[in-house]
């Protein structure tokens, strides 16, 4: 009699410990399920294109107005019943890792808790159900939110003006660089085409500068992970349009010489763009305007807790110095003495805003993100936002100092880090790398940290705990990462095939990136029969 009908096969991994303490590994179940971690096939494999879960009336024949574009064969979409559909997407959602499940240690891509109060406010009538083409008089409350958020951003950064319409961080970078380009052309210096980008800047910075028509040149970093100020000053000249600098930088360090750099760039006739993606580390503590910044984008999802873009509705307002404000994009809000708010749009360019480079987007920005960000700001107040930065920096330094004895920390001697703790794979056993540590961390129940970035550090591991994690949560993460690191240092071969407990085993990520299979095709009958 078959006593193992499900097909799983246990193997004793540590038999020397005796039967009472031996550990087992289950290789396979007949369903592919692992207890409550349910396996799920593709939706095409579940449904049939010959059936549907909905009864639709027959469509009477009518005149065909598609010309020669009519479909000539069935569309091939799977038909599912309601329970099949609900189960499919629910099972897939259980395989996601999310901030609502645990600490999300991605560095340089802040994943902080989004308060539910923000969501409640964003869904209020008058915010969630308005249309950008409504008359200004009917959306005074929404415009008031945009206007008040704009003034908060100006005040927190010490800048002169702000463009609210950019839809993401990189979009904000483009906004700032286009304003710089317009300012240079207005003063007859369009010949300035070179933008200097330090090695420690975000990777989108050089791409944005190139997209805006500039030539990009690198500036090296010092041994302590900061901009080589002497090298930057030596390169300044009449062809320099701007410097794009990230502060705090991608090594998790504050650029202490930024005011000196700004003064030198301005003296040479250029502008200073600051990547403000890491503003979460200094909000309420440092005003970029006081450091000589001319333009800086702010990722609302990083500093002010709006949902992370992920291909969806992002928001990247750009604060501008007095020198660049006239060249910023339209539209923007303007409040009159009687409290009425209007939108200053393109039809006023020739009258009051002749230097604006125009529009970034069709409309005014992301209303839902503005509402969430202002809710977060008003919930915290100025003192609360300052504590946000302090707690984020405290948590990152706690992670750094708790792990620097087991993982190489290349800039641990450069003083306290800011919001990110940076490690490398330099002290792991031969043949083990950052990828092995990251995959082992998945088995421990955590999403991996940012890996292989910044590029200035070999085998980089960048951890950003944010301010929203408790000491207990940090201790659990630190314990998990320490365990995996110790296994990698000891040469534990099982790490080379991790993760073992995830829904999918380790992939050939290079092949997946170079030759992705993006279209499902029904397998041949012979293959299906096997």
Q: What is the mean pLDDT of each run of 10 residues along the chain (530 residues)?
A: 38 46 56 81 87 79 81 85 92 90 90 94 94 93 96 98 93 96 96 95 92 96 94 97 96 96 98 96 97 96 84 84 95 90 69 82 90 97 97 98 97 94 97 97 95 93 96 97 97 94 86 89 58
Q: What does residue 242 show for φ and ψ, rounded to 5 degrees?
A: -165, 165
The answer to whether 244 and 195 are in contact (CB under 8 A) is yes
> CA 390 to CA 382: how far, in whole Å?
13
3-state secondary structure of 162: strand
The answer to whether 231 and 306 are in contact (CB under 8 A) is no
The answer to whether 34 and 501 are in contact (CB under 8 A) is yes
Q: Which pLDDT does position 88 carry in this prediction?
A: 94
Whose CA is closest to 295, among 281, 269, 312, 316? Answer: 316
Whether the upstream peptide bond of residue 287 has omega within 30° of 0, thus cis, is no
Q: How many CB atoms lie within 10 A of CB 455?
A: 11
Q: What does residue 341 show for φ and ψ, rounded to 5 degrees?
A: -115, 135
User: Domains in the chain, ordered, with CATH?
Assistant: 139-375 (3.40.640.10), 388-514 (3.90.1150.10)
**β-pairing, 421-423 with 271-275?**
unpaired
The answer to whether 137 and 266 are in contact (CB under 8 A) is no
The answer to whether 481 and 420 are in contact (CB under 8 A) is no
The answer to whether 74 and 428 are in contact (CB under 8 A) is no
3-state secondary structure of 244: strand
Which letter does DSSP use for residue 425 in this model? S
Beta-strand ranges (E) seen in 427-505 are 450-451, 461-463
Sign of CA dihedral 475, 409, 284, 296: negative
DSSP-H helix ranges across 249-366: 258-267, 300-303
3-state secondary structure of 491: coil
Helix, strand, coil % in the chain, rounded to nearest 5 = 35, 10, 50
3-state secondary structure of 423: strand
Greatest Cα pair distance in the chain: 91
Beta-strand ranges (E) seen in 28-140 are none
The answer to whether 272 and 140 are in contact (CB under 8 A) is no
> CA 340 to CA 345: how far, in whole Å?
16
In the block, which residue shows the tokens 């970029």?
288
Beta-strand ranges (E) seen in 29-85 are none
Structure tokens at 412: 């641990």
3-state secondary structure of 226: coil
Q: Please enumerate in sequence order all residues whose Cβ is within 8 A of that of 182, keeping only pairs 6 or more positions apart, or say none.
A: 327, 355, 356, 357
Q: Which pLDDT does position 10 carry in this prediction?
A: 41
The answer to whether 196 and 244 are in contact (CB under 8 A) is yes
Whose CA is closest to 294, among 331, 342, 245? Answer: 245
The answer to whether 430 and 366 are in contact (CB under 8 A) is no
The answer to whether 303 and 157 are in contact (CB under 8 A) is no
């Amino acid at each position: 009699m078959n006593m193992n009908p499900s097909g799983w096969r246990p193997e004793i991994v540590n038999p020397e410990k005796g039967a009472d303490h031996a550990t087992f590994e289950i290789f396979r179940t007949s369903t592919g399920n692992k207890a409550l971690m349910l396996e799920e096939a593709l939706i095409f494999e579940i449904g049939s294109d010959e059936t549907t879960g909905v009864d639709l009336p027959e469509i009477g024949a009518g005149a065909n107005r598609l010309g020669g574009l009519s479909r000539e064969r069935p569309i091939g979409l799977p038909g599912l019943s309601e329970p099949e559909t609900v189960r499919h997407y629910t099972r897939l959602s259980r395989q996601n890792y999310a901030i609502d499940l645990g600490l999300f240690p991605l560095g340089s891509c802040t994943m902080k808790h989004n308060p539910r109060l923000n969501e409640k406010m964003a869904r209020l009538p008058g915010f969630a159900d308005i249309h950008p083409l409504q008359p200004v008089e009917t959306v005074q409350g929404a415009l008031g939110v945009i206007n008040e958020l704009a003034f908060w951003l100006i005040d927190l950064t010490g800048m002169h003006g702000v463009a609210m319409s950019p839809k993401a961080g990189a979009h904000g970078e483009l906004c700032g660089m286009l304003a710089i380009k317009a300012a240079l052309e207005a003063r007859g210096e369009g010949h300035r085409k070179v933008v200097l980008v330090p090695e420690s800047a975000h990777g989108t910075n050089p791409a944005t500068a190139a997209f805006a028509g500039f030539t990009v040149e690198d500036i090296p970093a010092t041994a302590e992970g900061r901009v080589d100020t002497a090298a930057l000053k030596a390169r300044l000249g009449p062809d320099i349009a701007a410097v794009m600098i990230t502060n705090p930088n991608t090594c998790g360090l504050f650029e202490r010489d930024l005011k000196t750099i700004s003064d030198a760039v301005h003296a040479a006739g250029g502008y200073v763009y600051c990547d403000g993606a890491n503003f979460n580390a200094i909000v309420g503590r440092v005003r970029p305007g006081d450091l000589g910044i001319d333009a800086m984008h702010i990722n609302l999802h990083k500093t002010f807790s709006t949902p992370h873009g992920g291909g969806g509705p992002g928001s990247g307002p750009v604060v501008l110095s007095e020198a660049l404000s006239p060249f910023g994009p339209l539209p923007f809000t303007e409040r009159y003495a009687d409290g009425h708010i209007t939108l200053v749009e393109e039809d006023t360019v020739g009258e009051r805003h002749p230097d604006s480079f125009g529009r970034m987007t069709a409309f005014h920005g992301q209303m839902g993100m503005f509402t969430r960000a202002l809710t977060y700001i008003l919930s915290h107040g100025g003192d609360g936002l300052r504590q946000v930065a302090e707690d984020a920096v405290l948590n990152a330094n706690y992670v750094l100092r708790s792990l620097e004895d087991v993982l190489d920390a290349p800039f641990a001697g450069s003083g306290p880090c800011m919001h990110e703790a940076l490690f490398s794979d330099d002290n792991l056993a031969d043949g083990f790398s950052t990828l092995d540590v990251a995959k082992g961390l998945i088995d421990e129940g955590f999403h991996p940290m940012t890996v292989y970035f910044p590029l200035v550090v070999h085998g980089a591991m960048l951890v950003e705990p944010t301010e929203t994690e408790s000491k207990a949560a940090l201790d659990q993460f630190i314990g998990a990462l320490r365990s995996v690191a110790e296994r990698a240092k000891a040469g534990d071969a099982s790490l080379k095939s991790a993760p073992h407990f995830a829904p999918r085993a380790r992939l050939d990520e290079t092949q997946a990136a170079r030759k992705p299979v993006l279209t499902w095709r029904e397998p041949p009958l012979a293959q299906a029969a096997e």
